[in-house]
Chain A
Amino acid sequence: MSLTQRFATTLIVGATRLLTGVQARWRAEPQAGARIYFANHSSHLDGAVIWASLPPLLRPRTRAVAALDYWEKSALRRYLAKRVFNVLMIDRNPQQSREQRNAPLQPLLDALDTGDALILFPEGTRGEGESIAPFKSGLYHLARQRPDVALVPVYLENLNRILPKGSLMIVPLLCSAIFGAPMCIASEESRDDFLLRARQALEELAP
Chain B
Amino acid sequence: MNLHDPQLLILLGAIFGLLIIASLIGYVLSLRSMSLPQQATVANLNARIRAWWLMCIVFMAALSTGLIDAVILFGLISLLALREFVTLTPTRRADHEPLLWSFFVILPLQYVLVNMRWYGMFAIMIPVYGFLFLPARAAIAGDTRDFLERTAKTQWGIMVCVYCVSYAPALLMLDIDGYAGQNAKLLLFLVVVVQLSDVLQYVFGKLFGKHKIVPKLSPNKTVEGFVGGVLGASAIGMAMCWMTPFSVWAAGAIALLIALAGFAGGLCMSAIKRDSGIKDFGALIEGHGGVLDRIDSLCFAAPIFFHVVHYYYM
B214 at the interface (CB under 8 A from A): no
Kindly state the separation between the CA atoms of A172 and B82 in the bound complex, as whole angstroms: 9
Kindly state the separation between the CA atoms of A9 and B181 in the bound complex, as whole angstroms: 46
Q: Which of B87, B93, B282, B283 contacts A164 (CB 8 A)?
A: B93
Assuming the contacts A23-B283, A161-B91, asked whether A173 and B96 have C-beta atoms less than 8 A apart, the reply is no
A203 at the interface (CB under 8 A from B): no
Q: Which of B79, B87, B93 contacts A158 (CB 8 A)?
A: B87
CB distance from A166 to the nearest CB of B (A): 8
Question: Is there an interface contact between A174 and B103, defined as CB atoms closer than 8 Å?
Answer: no
Which residues of B are at the interface with A, using a C-beta cutoff of 8 A?
Answer: 79, 83-84, 86-87, 91, 93, 96-97, 99-100, 103, 282-283
- For B283, what are the chain A residues with a Cβ–Cβ distance below 8 Å? 23
A21 at the interface (CB under 8 A from B): yes
* Interface 1/0 per residue, A144-158 and B, CB below 8 Å: 000000000000001
Kindly state the separation between the CA atoms of A21 and B291 in the bound complex, as whole angstroms: 13
A169 at the interface (CB under 8 A from B): yes
Assuming the contacts A158-B87, A161-B91, asked whether A174 and B282 have C-beta atoms less than 8 A apart, the reply is yes
Kindly state the separation between the CA atoms of A174 and B283 in the bound complex, as whole angstroms: 11
Q: Could you jot down 16 A-B contacts, CB within 8 Å?
A: A23-B283, A128-B93, A158-B87, A166-B93, A167-B96, A171-B86, A171-B100, A171-B103, A172-B79, A172-B103, A173-B83, A173-B87, A174-B83, A174-B84, A174-B87, A174-B282
CB distance from A20 to the nearest CB of B (A): 10
CB distance from B297 to the nearest CB of A (A): 22
Q: Which of B83, B91, B99 contacts A21 (CB 8 A)?
A: B83
Question: Is there an interface contact between A172 and B83, defined as CB atoms closer than 8 Å?
Answer: yes
Q: Please report the total number of A residues contacting B with Cβ < 8 Å.
A: 14
Assuming the contacts A23-B283, A172-B103, asked whether A164 and B83 have C-beta atoms less than 8 A apart, the reply is no
Assuming the contacts A172-B103, A174-B282, asked whether A164 and B86 have C-beta atoms less than 8 A apart, the reply is no
Kindly state the separation between the CA atoms of A23 and B91 in the bound complex, as whole angstroms: 20
Question: Is there an interface contact between B93 and A171, defined as CB atoms closer than 8 Å?
Answer: no
- For A158, what are the chain B residues with a Cβ–Cβ distance below 8 Å? 87
Kindly state the separation between the CA atoms of A128 and B103 in the bound complex, as whole angstroms: 22
CB distance from A41 to the nearest CB of B (A): 16
- Most A C-beta atoms less than 10 A away, residue of B79, B96, B97, B99: B96
CB distance from A140 to the nearest CB of B (A): 31
- For B282, what are the chain A residues with a Cβ–Cβ distance below 8 Å? 174
Kindly state the separation between the CA atoms of A166 and B84 in the bound complex, as whole angstroms: 24
Question: Is there an interface contact between B100 and A173, defined as CB atoms closer than 8 Å?
Answer: no
CB distance from A1 to the nearest CB of B (A): 31
- For B100, what are the chain A residues with a Cβ–Cβ distance below 8 Å? 169, 171
